[in-house]
Structure formats: C-alpha cells, structure tokens
Structure 1
C-alpha cells in the first residue's frame, strides 16, 4: 500500500487525527476528574467514531489511487473494519 500522496487528503487526515488526539486527551481529563462513567463512555464512543471515519477516509484514499485491485480493498475492509 502506498503513502498518501494527495496533499489535500493528507492534510485532512492529519487534521482529523489531531482532533481525535484532542478528544482522547479530553477523555483522560474526564477520568482524572472522576466524571461519571456514562459521560466518559459517550466521549469514548465519539472518539471511536472519529477514528472509524479516519479509517474509511484512508480506505477511500487507497481506492482513489487506483493501484489496489477491488478484491484487495475488500480484504482490507474485512480485515480491519
């Protein structure tokens, strides 16, 4: 699998991951502050969803590059999704 060559895709992916990083730091602060479990769980779910979107953005990048056969993209999704 090749690297992300499209500068716009690369920038968007990095920005998304930085937001996830901020979410995770916020969750750590919630836990340190003894915030209720439901609130922490809600924020964990949001971070998980943001990571999922990052993953699918990356799969879209693989597809857009056109170097990977469709069966290999399907296997990638099955393996990591």
Structure 2
C-alpha cells in the first residue's frame, strides 16, 4: 500500500510530527533540568497524542485510497487489505 497524500493532508501530518518532535525535545530538557514528574508526564502524554494523531491520519488516508481506488475488488484482496489495516491500527493502540 503506497502512501500518496494530498498536499494539505501531508502538511497537517508533518505539522503534527514537528509538534511532537518539539514536545519530545521539551521532555528531554525537563528531565535534564530535574523538573516535576507530573509536568514531565503531562508533556510526554501530549507528545504521544500528537504521534498517535499523525499515525491515524496516515492510516485513514490509506484506507480512503483503498476504498476509492478499488484496491479491494477481489475477496482475497479485501481480506488481505483488512488484515494489513487491522495490523496498522493495532500498532498504534
């Protein structure tokens, strides 16, 4: 399954990943500075959510492409695609 995203979708995903990158850098800095554990965990959770949202956006785009491109025409293809998409969703769970 190739990833071909529209420019706007791609920009949104990249922005989310950059935000997560900044949040992770912030977490590292907080740990190095000996910041409060609750603050560190809160920032880490925010980074995790940003990564999850980016991953789900990529998976949703892939699913949309599968449905619109007719890639799921044959029953064998459908089952294989379903298994691959399920594996992708579970990898983010």
Q: Which has the larger radius of gyration?
A: 2
Whether TM-score is above 0.5 comes out as yes
Q: Give 4+ residue runs of structure 1 displaced > 3 Å after superposition.
A: 67-70
Normalised by the size of structure 1, how large is the TM-score?
Answer: 0.84
Map of 1:76 onto structure 2: 88
Return the alpha-carbon distance in structure 1 between the equivalents of residues 24 and 87 of structure 2: 29
- Segments of structure 2 that go 5 or more residues without pairing to the other structure are 73-77
Normalised by the size of structure 2, how large is the TM-score?
Answer: 0.74
Return the alpha-carbon distance in structure 2 between the equivalents of residues 19 and 8 of structure 1: 16
- Segments of structure 1 that go 5 or more residues without pairing to the other structure are none
Return the alpha-carbon distance in structure 2 between the equivalents of residues 57 and 43 of structure 1: 21
RMSD: 1.7
Aligned length: 80
